[in-house]
A = this chain, B = another copy of it.
Amino acid sequence: MAEQPLMPREQDLPLFVDLYELAMAQAYWRSGMDGEAVFSLFFRKLPEHRNFILACGQQQVARVIQSLRFTDDHIHRLRQLERFDDRFLDWLRHWRFTGSVQAVPEGTPVFPQEPLLEVRAPVIEAQILESLVMNYVHLESTLASKAVRHVLAAEGRPVVDFGMRRMHGLDSAWRGVRAYRIAGLAGTSNIQAGLDFGLPVKGTMAHSFVQACEDEMAAFRLYAELYPGTTLLVDTYDTQGAVRNIIRWLRENPEVDIGGIRLDSGNLGDEARACRRLLDEAGLDRIRIMASGGLDEYQIEALVSSGAPIDGFGVGTAIGVANDAPAIELAYKLTAYGGEPRMKKSTGKRSWPCPKQVFRQLDANGHMQGDLIAEAHEQGDGTPLLQPLMADGRLVEGAIASLEDQVTHARESVAALPPEQKRLAPAREAYPVRFSESLKQQQVRTLERIAHLQEWHYSDQDE
């Protein structure tokens, strides 16, 4: 095999497609099925312990969709699969997406059965997008939904991403930081992603640095000289011993500028209280205490509610892989074809037909009261969540919001959640999501019709 690149490349995007999508595309092409399809991206149920999903990644995937072109190189590779007719490959070579996409704004809390995004296009085009649409929105929504729980638990204290090392590859480590910014994180250790997505880049020192230096204080002195206001990692050998050394040093060298200390092991609440007391007694109340080391939202909540004097949190693995819910049951399903509602009735996976709109009702104070999932053409009370993102295969002018605006939107939207949904624990009452009467009737009618679509074959005959 030829030497591979070290990472997948943007130019490879069109072939990040599941074989069955192109197999179906060829079948549609061959049979002349060019009716308009509507596909809906939604999830069937919330992950256990979650009260909402923060939708994220829709703009990114719209940009991907707009960019998709099969080049001669792609066609050449597809030919190797010995599945595709040359005329179909020729059609694919000249294809570009011509449909429309609507989506909820990034940073919007969403609930089961609510479309995060809908694609409306000739069926062959909408089908080709399945895996890419899911991969893009799934990743960012998964990571943003986990990160925002840490932001809620920290009650205003900054939460910084330290997760790159255990995130699933560099695309995740990159787009994840975009999702973290939307979710409200205060910084990241990841230089590339932080610079690309405008999230402040943060970092202190590792234990290895303290271990390599002649002794712990030599390490601290070197950092203080290079990085005024730095945060010192104090748990390499003995946490309170390190803090006593720092206090003596600062007493003798009042010009030294230390901004904080970081605790990374042990009982963080106890250690923080002990260190805070030592620092305060020495008049060093200006020195802040950061905590890290296998933290998740539950530990942050426990530390905050116990009054531990911790001023900020560094979080790695928990947000990096969304460890308790690394996947959302996101699905991309056909809801209409040729103007007719469609659905599947597979056991346990019955879906809702029809293009949709979601109306979110807010009270006078802007708090969320409930959502109504309706047919797309219906009028409902409240704010319609799905907004045009692409039309005629192109991004709608003005539909791409700045990351800054998305951060604001996410903050306000999360603030508007009912208190039950903002808790880390499972809500005692699910957020109210209703279906419109018209949509319910469509589901009944569609079920009747699709029963017929299979049964006539064997029941109308002598089986």
Chain A interface size, as a band, is 35 or more
Residue of B nearest to A66 (CB): B6
Interface string of A177-197 (1 = CB under 8 A from B): 000000000000111111111
Instruction: Please give the distance in Å from A365's CB to the nearest CB on chain B.
Output: 33
Interface residues of A in 122-176 (CB under 8 A from B): 123, 127, 130-131, 134-135, 138-139, 142-143, 162, 164-176
User: In the complex the two chains form, what is the Cα distance from A346 to B78 in whole Å?
Assistant: 53
Given contacts A172-B172, A337-B211, A461-B248, contact A167 B9 (CB under 8 A): no
User: With an 8 A cutoff between CB atoms, is A27 at the interface?
Assistant: yes
Partner of A450, one of B162, B211, B461: B211
Residues of B within 8 A of A432 (CB): none
Given contacts A216-B453, A326-B321, contact A334 B211 (CB under 8 A): yes
B171 touches A457 (CB 8 A): no
User: In the complex the two chains form, what is the Cα distance from A236 to B455 in whole Å?
Assistant: 12
Partner of A203, one of B18, B139, B226: B18
User: With an 8 A cutoff between CB atoms, is A64 at the interface?
Assistant: yes
User: In the complex the two chains form, what is the Cα distance from A207 to B80 in whole Å?
Assistant: 26
User: In the complex the two chains form, what is the Cα distance from A450 to B213 in whole Å?
Assistant: 11
User: In the complex the two chains form, what is the Cα distance from A199 to B134 in whole Å?
Assistant: 22
Residue of B nearest to A328 (CB): B166
A327 touches B166 (CB 8 A): yes
User: In the complex the two chains form, what is the Cα distance from A337 to B211 in whole Å?
Assistant: 8
Given contacts A346-B266, A454-B245, contact A135 B123 (CB under 8 A): no
Interface residues of A in 207-265 (CB under 8 A from B): 207-209, 211-217, 222-223, 226-227, 235-238, 241-242, 244-245, 248, 264-265
Q: Which of A29-37, A97-105, A375-383, A422-430 touches B?
A: A29-37
User: With an 8 A cutoff between CB atoms, is A202 at the interface?
Assistant: yes
User: With an 8 A cutoff between CB atoms, is A198 at the interface?
Assistant: yes
User: In the complex the two chains form, what is the Cα distance from A78 to B346 in whole Å?
Assistant: 53
Residues of B within 8 A of A22 (CB): 191
Partner of A10, one of B9, B37, B317, B461: B9
Interface string of A24-55 (1 = CB under 8 A from B): 10111011010101010000000000000000
A7 touches B10 (CB 8 A): yes
User: In the complex the two chains form, what is the Cα distance from A348 to B173 in whole Å?
Assistant: 27
Residue of B nearest to A318 (CB): B327
Residue of B nearest to A346 (CB): B265
User: With an 8 A cutoff between CB atoms, is A320 at the interface?
Assistant: yes
B457 touches A215 (CB 8 A): yes
Instruction: Please give the distance in Å from A358's CB to the nearest CB on chain B.
Output: 22
A206 touches B130 (CB 8 A): yes
User: With an 8 A cutoff between CB atoms, is A83 at the interface?
Assistant: yes
User: With an 8 A cutoff between CB atoms, is A345 at the interface?
Assistant: yes
User: In the complex the two chains form, what is the Cα distance from A138 to B167 in whole Å?
Assistant: 8
Residues of B within 8 A of A176 (CB): 168-169
Instruction: Please give the distance in Å from A149's CB to the nearest CB on chain B.
Output: 16
Given contacts A266-B348, A327-B321, contact A215 B9 (CB under 8 A): no
User: With an 8 A cutoff between CB atoms, is A13 at the interface?
Assistant: yes
User: With an 8 A cutoff between CB atoms, is A302 at the interface?
Assistant: no
Q: Which interface residue of A26, A37, A192, A323 has the most chain B CB atoms within 10 A?
A: A192
User: In the complex the two chains form, what is the Cα distance from A290 to B182 in whole Å?
Assistant: 41
User: In the complex the two chains form, what is the Cα distance from A266 to B190 in whole Å?
Assistant: 44
User: In the complex the two chains form, what is the Cα distance from A461 to B241 in whole Å?
Assistant: 13
Residue of B nearest to A81 (CB): B201
A165 touches B138 (CB 8 A): yes
Interface residues of A in 326-382 (CB under 8 A from B): 326-328, 330, 332-334, 337, 342-349
User: With an 8 A cutoff between CB atoms, is A86 at the interface?
Assistant: no
Given contacts A27-B223, A135-B173, A207-B346, contact A130 B165 (CB under 8 A): yes
User: In the complex the two chains form, what is the Cα distance from A166 to B227 in whole Å?
Assistant: 41
Closest 7 CB pairs of A and B: A19-B203, A169-B171, A20-B203, A168-B168, A208-B334, A134-B165, A15-B192
**4 additional contacts, CB 8 Å, given A135-B166, A168-B321?**
A16-B164, A77-B195, A142-B168, A207-B333
Can you sample 13 A-B contacts with CB below 8 Å? Answer: A7-B171, A18-B164, A19-B191, A23-B227, A30-B226, A134-B165, A142-B168, A212-B342, A216-B453, A217-B457, A244-B458, A266-B346, A266-B348
